[in-house]
Amino acid sequence: MEKMSFVKNGVLRLPPGFRFHPTDEELVVQYLKRKVFSCPLPASIIPDFDVCKSDPWDLPGDWEQERYFFSTREVKYPNGNRSSRATGSGYWKATGIDKQIASCRGRQLVGMKKTLVFYKGKAPHGSRTDWIMHEYRLANAPTSLQPPNNNNENWVLCRIFLKKRTAKKEDETTEMNRGASLGNGTKPVFYDFLARERADLNLAPASSSSGSSGVTVLSSNHQTSDDHEESSSCSSFTTLRRKP
């Protein structure tokens, strides 16, 4: 019976209701390792495609979902191990340290995962984007099995997706921008709406010597007079209540 292929023209097409969500170990052991050693794959579900020949948004498949590809690493320099990850509009840049992938049963190191971020423009002055790639490769652990040829040693498995910004991060960014605008010479203005006499809030407070500004200035003498009147009224009211 011929194995069913779920890849058509480089695009993954699964029946309705099916989703492809493999773990890191499954990607390395069940797919990448079998690909390197030319063994039958569990399903023809991951296409062969050079991910550096196209920009991430131009790769086959739905760019709003995770996409998986078998790709080969091209050496940047003839006598080096650095890979060339430049595309038409930018380049992939590694970030952080590589993560070890171990088998769940034997705790044996089976592979490594490298995280890369896509930058638009020319290195090293490119602008960071939200495109992320996880590059899986086999671990360099000694094994009795050897790949049939040296070309297969360069196979990697790539998972590419667009990182979505959360609402919390957007709110934090808005607050940071608001704080930056307040720091550029703009200070918040506070008004005392509980004051007994309202002044014109659109005019700057005038000094006590200028009486033609039209702004009422509450001086300490005026406030003391008001307090004295209140105390006098209260005392008079009390005296009236005590009269027979």
Q: What is the pLDDT of residue 216?
A: 44
Whether 60 is in a domain gets the answer yes
**Are 230 and 151 within one domain?**
no
> 155 and 219: one domain?
no
Instruction: Determine the pLDDT at residue 64.
Output: 86
Task: Let me know whether 134 and 34 are in one domain.
Answer: yes
Domain that holds residue 137: 7-165
Q: What is the pLDDT of residue 118?
A: 97
Q: What is the number of domains present in the chain? A: 2
pTM assigned to the model: 0.62
CB 122 within 8 A of CB 144: no
CA–CA separation, 123 and 26 (whole Å): 34
Same domain (yes/no): 206, 156: no
- Residues 118, 28 share a domain: yes
Tell me, rounded to whole angstroms, the distance of Cα 144 from its chain centroid: 42
Domain check: are 57 and 127 in the same one? yes
pLDDT the model gives residue 10? 60
> Where are any strands of DSSP class E within the chain?
7-8, 11-12, 67-72, 90-102, 109-120, 127-138, 155-162
Environment class of 147 (CB within 10 Å of its CB; exposed 0-12, middle 13-18, buried 19+): middle
Residue 10 Rama label (left phi>0; alpha psi -120 to 50; beta):
left
List the chain pLDDT tens, one digit each, 244 residues.
Answer: 345 667 766 667 777 877 888 999 999 999 999 999 999 998 888 999 999 999 999 999 888 889 999 999 876 555 555 667 899 999 999 999 999 999 887 678 999 999 999 999 998 899 999 999 999 999 874 444 455 555 556 899 999 999 987 766 666 656 665 555 455 555 666 666 666 555 555 555 544 444 444 444 444 444 444 454 444 444 444 434 444 4
